[in-house]
Amino acid sequence: MAESLSNFGRCTHAIVRDIPDSLGKEALRTGGGGGCCKEQQQQEEVVEVVVSPVDMARARREHDLYVAVLRQKLGLQVVELPADESLPDCVFVEDTAVVCGDTALLTHPGAPSRRREVEATKKVLEDLNFNVVEMTDEAATLDGGDILFTGREFFVGLSKRTNQRGAEILADVFKDYAVSKVSVTGTLHLKSYCSMAGPGLIAIGSSEHAQKALKIMQEMSEHRYDKLTLPDDEAANCVYLYIPSKGHVLLHRTPEEFPESAKVFEKLKDHMLIPVSNTELAKVDGGLTCCSILLNKKA
């Protein structure tokens, strides 16, 4: 059964994963480092790209704070998976599963180097008694970062990491919801420039690519959504939760990182706003939603 919109954002558990030392040098980057981009560089004219080094100590401090907000400030039961040095991108757990209601679809990540990340997520979801569905079609690719669930429907970004077949399998698994496909340009994932900031409220970046994606979503949907337009695309990736004891909660990027976008978030008077720094993981295309899988486990 489709979940009521009144349950949107409710969650009891979060899956997170520690940062491996290998992230700094080996994590994939759209800007010129890492696996899938190396293939592109061989095919295309070589362009010099300035790669910002990741400050690993700071990355861990920021991630620890993120986890502490979920566990201590919001009272979620947090399952913390250990880092795996052979999987430099493993901190980005969102990409490994799409969970809705009591069903969890394990993904088949678009980057081959990330496919083994799914194994640890599978075990946790099975231990928590979710109905786990595996994606067995090798031709399908799907990253969780391309999936925007609004509480009413799914939007699936067709990107370098998620293809048509992956979207078809998601639609087959979550039959109670409409599934619309959105072409992703100018960034890695659909949620690199949009996310849900509340029930019926889409946070969206201001770039031409982001606005084009929003227009497609509005045209394809039977529902009307309010929009929160942020000056910075990266800031539009935020984490919304509904915690009964606290109400609407939004984790968003800090004023130090995106001062103009922070001013826009401050207009959300009904939300508990929690600024969270993400300066380092952003250097390897990580957003705030990337670092957790949020679950609403029925008692």
Asked if the model's pLDDT at residue 2 lies above 70, the reply is no
User: Which of 63, 189, 248, 271 is the catalytic position?
Assistant: 189
User: Which pLDDT value is given to residue 7?
Assistant: 87
Confidence at residue 298, expressed as pLDDT on a 0 to 100 scale: 84
Rounded CA-CA distance 183/245 in Å is 38
Q: 90, 100, 194, 290: which is the annotated catalytic residue? A: 290
Going from N- to C-terminal start, the domains of the chain cover: 5-295
Q: Assess whether 194 carries a catalytic annotation.
A: no
145: number of Cβ within 10 Å: 29
* Known catalytic residue at 189: yes
3-state DSSP call for residue 264?
helix
> Distance (Å, rounded) from C-alpha 169 to C-alpha 37?
26
Q: What dihedral do alpha carbons 194, 197, 199, 205 form, nearest 10°?
A: -30
Whether residue 4 is predicted with pLDDT greater than 70 in this model: the reply is no
User: What's the pLDDT tens digit per position in 188-240?
Assistant: 999 999 999 999 999 999 999 999 999 999 999 999 999 999 999 999 999 99
5-295: which CATH number, 3.30.300.30, 3.40.50.2300, 3.75.10.10, 3.40.50.280?
Answer: 3.75.10.10
Q: Calculate the average pLDDT of the chain.
A: 92
CB 285 within 8 A of CB 4: no
- What pTM was computed for the model? 0.92
Residues 167, 182: Cα–Cα separation, whole Å: 10
Report the alpha-carbon distance of residue 235 to residue 165 in Å, rounded. 30
Task: Please report the pLDDT score of residue 31 as a whole number.
Answer: 61
